[in-house]
Structure formats: C-alpha cells, structure tokens
Amino acid sequence: MTWLYDSHIHLSDLEYQNDLDYIIKGMENIKIKSCCVSVDTITSKRTLELSTKSELILPFIGIHPEHIHDDLELMIDIIDKNHQRISGIGEIGLDPTYETSNEDHKKQIHIFETLLSLAEKYQKPISIHSRKSLDEIFSIMTSYDSKHTLLHWFDGNKKQLQKAMDMDFFVSYGPVMIYANDKQILLSKTSETKILVETDGPVRFSKCFEMKSGQISFIPSVVFCASKILGKSYEEMASLLEENSKSFLQI
C-alpha cells in the first residue's frame, strides 16, 4: 500500500491543538505520514510529545530564522538527548525578512550552522527555510552534507532550481501549485527523484482553498495536480513521492 507524506507541516502550532485526534484519525484513514516541523524550543518539545501519540507523526525539531532569540544551548541539549527519537532537524534556515540589523543576520547564520552541524553529526535530514536567501544557503551548504536536505516551499527561479538539483537537494511544492502557474513550471523542471509535497500548515491558502489553514487532507489534491503536470497517473505520482520521501528521510 502506498503512503503519502506531508514533508512539512507545523502540527505543533496551537492552531491544530483542539483537532489533533481528528487529524491523526484522518492521517490513518488517508494513509498519510507527516514531517512535523518546529520553530523554537517550545514547539520542539511539543512536537516530541505529539510524536508519542502516533507513529505517523515524524518529529523535526529546530529554530526558525524568525526566532533567533530562542535558547540555542537548550535546543542543542534537546537534540543531543533526543537524537534517536527525532526524524530530522527543522525548520531551520535564513530569512532577511526577520532581520533588523547586521547582528541579526550573523545570529541567523550562527544558529543555522550550529544546527546543520548537529544534523550532520547525527545523520538527520534537514528541512530548510530559504525565503530570499537561496544563494547564501547554497554557499553555506557546500560545507555540509546536502544529500538529505529539503528546500521547503521552493520559491526560487529556474537557475536556482538547477543549482538545487546540482547540489542534490530535495524541493517541495504545496497547495499553491494547484493555482500558481509559476510553481507548476518549476515542478515540471524539477528532477523527478527530488520532488516532495507539503502543506506548510497552518499557512492559509487562497483561491480554491478559500483562505483555509493548510490541512494534511490537502495532500491528495497536490499529488493529483503534480500527476497532471508531469503526465502521470495519480497512482504513479503517489508511488514516486513515497519513494522520494523515504529517500529524504533515510527510511
């Protein structure tokens, strides 16, 4: 039986708190596993707790570039103590949107590189936030193992996509792809073995999703859209994505 994977969702976000039992039951029924990413030490602890509720929740822990004032030493300790339990490191990365000074940028880089080193130490896959920072991330990642790295919600241009492929990165596409022509074009130019799908919930989506928060149940629609773009049957696309997801997760 083919399993689908949501490669990037924030189930530890409080938006989902009252619906978790329903969400997990839905994951069981639809046969979807989720990479549950975190943004700071608090959500990382919550993610670890969530992963005890269901083996379908794959815990990723880390510090998002928005949270540079979080406790990095505590995060290192959490990873060191739980490295056998966690599925990956994330969401980590760079984003100038959240910087107000050069010191902020330096701190983002320090946190990013520290967590990359831990991911490498424990041989964990990485989920990277790369908004407006792809070229700098490419430069930094030349010093790290990038075989199990995901550039989540890929938003670069065609040249940057090719660079990502050359560096053996995975890239993921979400519900936006269903109604955004530029994302559909990027998908068509992505190496088939490097495609993943995600929701990035609780991000809200417009058009056909009517500004609803991203739900894991959106994943089959994303898979269906990808299958049409790539000229495959739904079953072929789902099988490809399962294989890619297992490769990313090293399972």
For 149-167, how does the pLDDT look when each residue is reduced to its tens digit (9 = 90+)? 999 999 999 999 999 999 9
Provide the pLDDT for residue 136: 98
Q: Report the run of H or E that residue 7 belongs to, with start and end.
A: strand 4-9
Question: CATH: 3.20.20.140, 3.40.50.300, 3.40.250.10, 3.40.50.1100. Which one for 4-249?
Answer: 3.20.20.140
Provide the pLDDT for residue 1: 85
Strands 4-9 and 126-129: unpaired
Provide the pLDDT for residue 145: 86
Provide the pLDDT for residue 148: 96
Provide the pLDDT for residue 146: 81
Provide the pLDDT for residue 35: 98
Provide the pLDDT for residue 208: 84
Cα–Cα distance measured from residue 233 to residue 212, given in angstroms and rounded to the nearest whole number? 27
Tell me, yes or no, if the pTM score tops 0.85: yes
Residue ranges of the chain whose pLDDT lies below 50: none
Beta-carbon contacts of residue 62 (< 8 Å; ≥ 6 apart): 37, 38, 39, 44, 75, 89, 90, 91, 92, 115, 127
